Amino acid sequence: MWKNLSGKVRALIIAGIAVVVILAAVLIVSLVLRVDVAEAQETALAAAGGGEIVAQEIDQEGLWSEYSFDIVNGDTWYEVEVSAFGSVTGLESRQGGYGSYRQGD
């Protein structure tokens, strides 16, 4: 059957197989590289210079999760966003605590 196909058809079949293999490899690599909640928490705490996580939010977007943490460190609170792959994508800080929350309560 392969011998009966024209050169263009063979090239299209080979290109299609190559695309499928590349997409499968990208999916596997991305699944291996993504972080879980515990790793995202460690990343957020490191970005804030330590402290205590007082709130967290996990947004599911398809296969990926994006994490957002509110962290209190002394009288400064931080909002840290961490991507599914463990990089900090957002960092905001404010003085004066976190609402009525006091560290140690």
Low-confidence ranges of the chain (pLDDT < 50): 103, 105
Q: Domain range for residue 77?
A: 35-95
Same domain, 40 and 68: yes
Strand partners, 82: 67, 88
Same domain, 39 and 86: yes
Token pair for 87? 């990089």
Same domain, 40 and 28: no
pLDDT tens-digit map of 72-99: 999 999 999 999 889 999 999 998 755 5
Residue 104 phi/psi, 5-degree rounding, is: 100, -10
Residue 103 lies in a domain: no
Alpha-carbon gap, residue 45 to 38, rounded angstroms: 11
At which residue do the structure tokens 């463990």 appear? 86
pTM to 2 decimals?
Answer: 0.66
Cβ neighbours for 83, distance < 8 A, ≥ 6 positions apart? 64, 66, 89
Same domain, 27 and 39: no
Same domain, 22 and 40: no
Alpha-carbon gap, residue 35 to 11, rounded angstroms: 38
Domains contained in the chain, number:
2
